[in-house]
Structure 1
């Protein structure tokens, strides 16, 4: 291309224009804010320091701070792998080759899945509950006196735990009545109670009319006419629930009522049974249920009660992403009250600071509690409470200390509460710890963790603790900034902006969403902590969705998609630490299940680093988790060019994963290709031979190992072996519908709208399929995504945004951004009021996938080229970004206006050759380490 020579004045003009645009974008509104307190958990605002997390409700009269500690899980150290499973591997493969999928899955379910945790004596407990143990009379009878029972709304669509009855597993009785219409006299009736979790014994007027042990089945029982009374009729249901969502949950369609109606007539003639039923807990200590893996647990709650604060003026709550501080302000009778909350990493405490602008105005009561049944609160001293707990059916114990420090006023501890009266300012310090030390070591001292944290703040004032927190946080957060034009809606609350985003122009809200994703990653994955799980570090349920574990067939990996491109490399450290531990446990699984060297990881893991296949054999036997995690190790090297990391950390782990597949891959008897089997294409299609996703990930692993060995000048023989096998792995194929095949056979269904798009892994996050080297496959992958459709769960939208960005179709990608940033309360995927991603329910991966996806529209760096604005949507015509990272060891600042690049500054962190593309323009130049290179919109240096 011809070289453009710019005059000094023209260079000056360009520089001034860039600086003016930068000035207009500085001071971006980096706050989530609301003019009303949180009601639901997904309204509350999250804070975290990687180890401790909290959700801030910010009610004026009653403020709830629900908190977590990252290592509080169910379960205990144990071996998850099944000794002798490998003996059944040849037979399972044979059955799959013969097309006998059902038989293969049955054999795998019986002989190949991982081991489960111990089981309690279910039969004995069941007999006792049916014999009415613990009751003075039979609640099924008409004459039973339930006047002292409490009320529960029925149905509870998400289970009674989600409705406020934490830990209510066990045997629970529920009772209600209905009045018989005279015209129904002498007729059989139908009672429809919807679904009940898990087993019910349903009585009417003392007679057992039905029982089922099936959480997924609706209950419709016949009440014989001889059992129906004139006037009032009594319904009693004994529910036996061992864990998870219990109770009368009704129907997924919450508009459907529980009913009683005459047999043979329409349901519309019935009497609704929805409403408050009486309930009594017969026994809340059911026997332990065998589990493949453990669940992440909530720790406790701090509740602050302020008398006389019910009616307020000028209420506002906010989360400042710039400082990682939540704040609540309001006015009562001319006095302004302010509360600040943050999770300090330097001091390992959650801090709550309360002040008023008039002296002696701060008075409240603070209570410390936990949803765990085995918990207790005690006084430590006149300023401190301690909460002790033990997880049910697990090895972990926890301690939490709450210390209250006041400026003036009086502080006293009575029972399980701290009372404060007449203070100017009050600071609460909340610490928490468990006895967890490592996945195979629970010898820690949780009380010592708390004491050390409180000691660290003892001689410091609030402002110095806050300053240290902000300084530590900002060293990560301030590495990156983004703006999409001036923020014109700073006066609109976040919940309103969420409602309006999809239908109005609000590009600044997309920039805020990116920064919120970065905030969440910093808050849930600091160096030295455990990695972010399905819910980051925030969870309020004893039985959270999917255990709030680490799902490794997309969700865990998606959590870390922003880490490199959005300049948060240190946040990936916890993931790498986990990979090191999984390598240890995964080597046992490789040996026991596959008689193979190296290490393997299936589709889920937990705090105890389980790597064996879990759940059902039709989706639990998926072998590519380790290889996918190795992709993150390689990406970290490619972005940072850190050869010491590659040599000492990444390559040994990658090599061991490749060792496994070197043994695991076998010849397909029909094609002669090397294939992966048994496995599946997550999480559909059942157990198969040769899913495309496996082969894409394995090729990626082999290719990266080969390149790493070359860079490090090591393992040439092993690299040569991988190179030979690489060429024989079953290739990507285009099917009869023009689609990229998901399986070895051409069996794709164009009407399939499944949330997983696994066979597009090679487009993103991989790069085997791209426009430059494999355009035919790229077109087929695009066709597959069109067939799959746009509608999806929250995290799936995040993946699709990245895919459409790789297809360089920014407007299509941004349409999915609008779907992701839309109110989940209206039904389906989107975002909750606090911008948490909705699967639904809450999963944090969509936040991270969405943030990475918007970045992918603005910069891509695969194939050795830095591609500027490759998928810029028309909705983002103006913008500036600073600190975005590219592969090859580069950091960039650039801006655009009216959809056209204005300038780009490239900082070379490794001194590599640089290739930059913008539209049809391309420039190549050499760099020196630490050098800065400025290009104008025509990619000419200035």
Structure 2
């Protein structure tokens, strides 16, 4: 009877959840097998991924300020003396020479390095041995195995944090007939240096992870039957190993003169010769994982399992039955109290038994047995200044807890409450705090005195205050929320699922609330979630689109204050970028290139063919202006006006007159990350015009700098204009050299269409057609964030069905391409969170636009989402809107004026203009007639 009542109540609760929160959960009927299936929680400072294992649970967690490196100066003194030479070379069409000069003299400074010569000599002596690991008859039977190739580095195969020298060995067989052919060895990429042997003989050696490894095998070296390949891989920094091809359909292997391929993909033997390589400097720092909280339970199998991210409550729940007992776990990340909470419950007393451990991937770490129910862990980031400390505290109802080795063991508890806190020695981008650990411990002890239930309620109130401001429903006749999200994602490839679009928008809002809060760092390439010591692109801040895309939907989705971390970063960059402007361009103001990090590096990095791009700061100014447009907050505009002005002053000094056209152009620069170092990329000019317009408008509003405004207005009109090229396309560069076959993921020259607004259907119809032609030539395919950007483009073009087609592409399962992982994380691949926010921005751009003449309702509504409603959506001019539509037609709309601005509303061929009063709401019917 008891079991029957439990099943009935479970069924009723599921039905209630489906009817009330149909677009408010991401859920699975099984534990996560990989990180991209785990469910995220966060509070802006702490982030964690919940796997939900039955026998073994893993909670992988991050703290936002745990990065490599430390405070330092990124700028090369006197780089500006090479600026004119670089410009002259570009003027003469000598791009490669300009890039070479810039690479030598115009890049940022790397962090501290050690001379690797002695170490390379030491690890090289093994190659001089007669029977070394390269020898044909070498015995590697005791070596472990690893999957080869591994494009994302050996780190992805478990060798986290490894830099050094590693040997790989593999055996293959050839027939007598196959020996008559000529063979080459194709390994494609190796990270980073290699010495490659066949049957004990060196067949090739190369340096650099961009060098293709295609080695000819001398005739007579191969044997009938068994053959061996051995590779010494030397990796001083970053990802390591035999990378092979990014496209996993392409194998590394032996290639014959007749086109035959013998694949070498598989399990190879490996031996770590020396993991202690010298310190090698990097241009910028990388975001780091902190650790994992592991729980090991006394049951292995479960029935009626569910793992749910409940976005309405801001928590993850795991439910299952084992041995006739119902178990429930609840996970949440509290912003007000800065901790991660975990509650373990059972429907019978004394049934919670488990072992808890605290672990980390960092090589140097220390565990502390603080008391009978607490563990402390301190970690040191390799070759850097950063330290972090985490504390875990358990509170029990019933049962007992004790230490067993380094683990805490809980026996026969009724309920267990777990507090997880973490902090680092980060104080600001310019200094560290040596006393942080004592402060962190005191804060944690004060937290532990608080009632867990009360802390949970405080979290709920704080979270729901943000989440409940906005609601969206896109109707469908089926109850697809009953399908686990991973299966729902695959189903949506063939069948339309309007509710999945609504879920995706709300998921983006959840991720922003979890990753970007006042006082935290802004969201990086992975938001706040990262499990790798060598994350792709350092999981830092790429400012030639990715950082900005993270915040595209923040205002429209009614989460305005979540941009505070970005605005604080802009304040820091204003200071840091002033030195870069001076040292590299002898210019006033401030500048930011295509990346920054925790330590606010602003100098060019990586490579001169894409790292010298000076308009990152100008793009970020656009976010300041958009915040003002959405809020009409004059105090905010006054506060940030000096940053706007200084960004403008930089480009007043930076722009140069092109000798051929007479236009003002941006030089040197690039069109991210395409075409190398050039003068006059279209994107730059669109961004700079936008910056100049923002300065002119804000200075007028504040009645400041009238003479400067006149000068900037004059310069703006001299900047190289948008041009239409030979294929009818919008030109990407100053000269018409666009390749119609180029399918590059960046579509930078359409910045003026979105997120800018100078290319629009009302004012520039010819440029709109050219932009559309560029989109068609570039193609629909792309990485996850690129797909998301294209949704916004097509929405601005009011091509509803093409925009919807791009949404479908973004929401397809990520099978070695752009799309979405099972937990709805965006796939570059690998994971990048920008696509989640860019996709949400594109979906709401289909429903409402306010970037040109007033507010337009349902401007790009596809038939597949023809019925729905949205509440709490924001528009420029400080308006908050509720609207409903059915069968593709507006039913009605209510507009709340938050600042008393004039309202201009458009829908199809209907239009209304009225004066409004602050705080008053206005209701309109389907023809935009004002209701009395």
Q: Which residue of 2 aligns with 1:3?
A: none
**CA distance in structure 2 between the partners assigned to 1:676 and 1:223 by the alignment:** 49
**CA distance in structure 1 between the partners assigned to 2:787 and 2:240 by the alignment:** 31
Q: Work out whether 1:568 is the aligned partner of 2:559.
A: yes
Give the 3 Å change call, closer, same or farther, for CA 735–236 of structure 1 in structure 2.
Answer: closer
The alpha carbon displacement at 1:644 in A equals 0.4
Give the 3 Å change call, closer, same or farther, for CA 90–274 of structure 1 in structure 2.
Answer: closer
SS in 1 for 2:554: helix
The alpha carbon displacement at 1:120 in A equals 1.6
Q: Which residue of 1 aligns with 2:486?
A: 495
Deviations 1:471-511 (A, max 9, x none): 11111111111111256212111011111223212111100
SS in 1 for 2:159: coil
One of 421, 444, 448 as aligned partner of 1:458 = 448
Q: Work out whether 1:510 is the aligned partner of 2:509.
A: no
One of 597, 602, 609 as aligned partner of 2:600 = 609
SS in 2 for 1:483: strand
**CA distance in structure 2 between the partners assigned to 1:823 and 1:522 by the alignment:** 25
Q: Which residue of 2 aligns with 1:100?
A: 94
Q: Work out whether 1:743 is the aligned partner of 2:724.
A: no
Q: Which residue of 1 aligns with 2:809?
A: 819
SS in 2 for 1:923: strand
One of 789, 798, 805 as aligned partner of 2:788 = 798
Please say which of residues 433-442 and 86-95 is displaced more in the overlay: 86-95
One of 535, 542, 553 as aligned partner of 2:544 = 553
The alpha carbon displacement at 1:174 in A equals 2.9
**CA distance in structure 2 between the partners assigned to 1:264 and 1:685 by the alignment:** 34
The alpha carbon displacement at 1:101 in A equals 1.8
Please say which of residues 918-927 and 152-161 is displaced more in the overlay: 152-161
Cα contact 2:146–2:157 (8 A) shared by 1: no
Deviations 1:763-804 (A, max 9, x none): 111111212222222222222222222111111111111111
**CA distance in structure 2 between the partners assigned to 1:110 and 1:151 by the alignment:** 41
Give the 3 Å change call, closer, same or farther, for CA 941–159 of structure 1 in structure 2.
Answer: same
Q: Aligned ranges for residues 188-207 of structure 1 at < 5 Å?
A: 193=187, 195-203=189-197, 206-207=200-201
One of 297, 319, 333 as aligned partner of 2:309 = 319
TM-score, normalised with respect to structure 2: 0.94
Q: Aligned ranges for residues 151-166 of structure 1 at < 5 Å?
A: 151-166=145-160
Number of residue equivalences: 914
Q: Aligned ranges for residues 251-262 of structure 1 at < 5 Å?
A: 251-257=245-251, 259=253
Q: Which residue of 1 aligns with 2:144?
A: 150
Q: Work out whether 1:931 is the aligned partner of 2:925.
A: no
Give the 3 Å change call, closer, same or farther, for CA 107–332 of structure 1 in structure 2.
Answer: same
One of 237, 244, 268 as aligned partner of 2:238 = 244
The alpha carbon displacement at 1:447 in A equals 2.1
Q: Work out whether 1:627 is the aligned partner of 2:584.
A: no
**CA distance in structure 1 between the partners assigned to 2:81 and 2:214 by the alignment:** 46
4+ residue segments displaced more than 6 Å:
182-189, 222-231
RMSD of aligned Cα (Å): 2.4
One of 361, 367, 379 as aligned partner of 1:377 = 367
The alpha carbon displacement at 1:762 in A equals 1.2
One of 821, 825, 829 as aligned partner of 1:832 = 821
The alpha carbon displacement at 1:563 in A equals 0.8
Structure 2 unaligned blocks of 5 or more: 1-16
Q: Which residue of 2 aligns with 1:691?
A: 681
**CA distance in structure 1 between the partners assigned to 2:770 and 2:227 by the alignment:** 63
The alpha carbon displacement at 1:96 in A equals 1.7
Q: Which residue of 2 aligns with 1:848?
A: 837
Cα contact 1:187–1:224 (8 A) shared by 2: no
Q: Which residue of 2 aligns with 1:912?
A: 901
**CA distance in structure 2 between the partners assigned to 1:117 and 1:394 by the alignment:** 9
Deviations 1:835-857 (A, max 9, x none): 01111111111100010111111
The alpha carbon displacement at 1:131 in A equals 2.6
The alpha carbon displacement at 1:253 in A equals 4.4
**CA distance in structure 2 between the partners assigned to 1:456 and 1:779 by the alignment:** 62
SS in 1 for 2:490: helix
SS in 2 for 1:627: helix
**CA distance in structure 2 between the partners assigned to 1:626 and 1:612 by the alignment:** 12
**CA distance in structure 2 between the partners assigned to 1:717 and 1:492 by the alignment:** 63
**CA distance in structure 1 between the partners assigned to 2:204 and 2:676 by the alignment:** 35
Q: Which residue of 1 aligns with 2:81?
A: 87
SS in 2 for 1:413: strand
**CA distance in structure 1 between the partners assigned to 2:389 and 2:294 by the alignment:** 17
**CA distance in structure 2 between the partners assigned to 1:820 and 1:186 by the alignment:** 49
Q: Which residue of 1 aligns with 2:12?
A: none
Give the 3 Å change call, closer, same or farther, for CA 30–24 of structure 1 in structure 2.
Answer: closer
Cα contact 1:186–1:226 (8 A) shared by 2: no
The alpha carbon displacement at 1:90 in A equals 1.5
Cα contact 1:914–1:924 (8 A) shared by 2: yes
Q: Aligned ranges for residues 656-671 of structure 1 at < 5 Å?
A: 656-671=646-661
Q: Work out whether 1:78 is the aligned partner of 2:67.
A: no
Deviations 1:369-419 (A, max 9, x none): 111112232322211112211111111111111222221112112332111
Cα contact 1:432–1:449 (8 A) shared by 2: no
Give the 3 Å change call, closer, same or farther, for CA 938–253 of structure 1 in structure 2.
Answer: closer
Q: Which residue of 2 aligns with 1:860?
A: 849
Please say which of residues 405-414 and 312-321 is displaced more in the overlay: 405-414
Please say which of residues 684-693 and 811-820 is displaced more in the overlay: 684-693
The alpha carbon displacement at 1:294 in A equals 1.0
Q: Which residue of 2 aligns with 1:19?
A: none
Deviations 1:865-922 (A, max 9, x none): 1111111111111111111111111111111111111111111111111111111111
Please say which of residues 799-808 and 223-232 is displaced more in the overlay: 223-232
Give the 3 Å change call, closer, same or farther, for CA 819–190 of structure 1 in structure 2.
Answer: closer
